[in-house]
Amino acid sequence: MKRILTLFYFVIFALSIQAQIPEKQKITVADLYRTYTYYPQSVYGLVSMNDGLHYSALEGDSVIAKYSYKTGKKVENIVSVSDFNNDKIKEFIIILLIVMKVK
């Protein structure tokens, strides 16, 4: 009789602990591909430079600017459409910048 009571108390104790532990959420295909629940956060529109200290970003449709990771402030303009005198080159640079913006 003592063994049966001990087993009974053990089962009740185990069930009460299991009830307190939250059930793990099941990961579904919809969570992964439809709602992007587990999709990593990222920043779009900037390109890290080789020095590891700066990144470049497109400003509007006419300037590629260099920024500092440390301060987040603009360091300089790398390329600007106004730097070019030839209209054909300006047109090409604008198209190139627009294509880069779309990606």
Residue 75 confidence (pLDDT): 93
26 pLDDT above the threshold of 80: no
Per-position DSSP letters for 41-98, written without gaps between them:
P---SEEE-TTSSEEEEEETTTEEEEEETTT--EEEEEEEGGG---HHHHHHHHHHHH
Residues 89, 102 contacting (CB under 8 angstroms): no
**Residue of 103 and 86 predicted with greater confidence:** 86
- For range 58-70, the mean pLDDT: 86
Residue 36 confidence (pLDDT): 76
Show me where the domains of the chain are located. 2-33, 46-102
- For range 15-40, the mean pLDDT: 71
103 pLDDT above the threshold of 80: no
Residue 74 confidence (pLDDT): 93
- For range 51-75, the mean pLDDT: 89
Residues 76, 66 contacting (CB under 8 angstroms): yes
- For range 63-80, the mean pLDDT: 90
CA gap 81, 64 in Å, rounded: 9
Which of 90, 88, 34, 36 has its CA nearest to residue 62? 90
